[in-house]
Amino acid sequence: MPHFPTYLYVLFCLFVYIGIKRCFVREVRPVRPVLFPILFVALGLSSLSHLFLRASAEAYAAGFGMLVVGAAGGWLHAGLWRLQFRNGPEGIFVRLPGDASLLVTLL
């Protein structure tokens, strides 16, 4: 078995902790569930040309198709959620249900 650096074990434990934490109901500001998926898609799209220097138009079409499939799957998955909103002195919060999809993806 190859030796992995210690920081990889720490990072894996951190991701597992975040995945377990997301299994429970939590309240966040409404910006987070909207902003982070857009941010990750933008970062992924911006790095495509650097990762695949000689990619053809068909490769980009396949990548776009995978993006559409992933977005549709995420939309269907999140469409089952029942969101609740709370207006407090700190502002508006949305109550997100527990979701084990991140933990399953990591493991």
Is the pLDDT assigned to residue 1 strictly greater than 60? no
For residue range 96-107, list pLDDT tens digits in order: 888 888 788 777
Is the pLDDT assigned to residue 49 strictly greater than 80? no
State the pLDDT at residue 101: 80
Report how far residue 61's alpha carbon sits from residue 54's, in angstroms, rounded to the nearest whole number: 14
Report how far residue 99's alpha carbon sits from residue 21's, in angstroms, rounded to the nearest whole number: 9
pTM of the model: 0.60
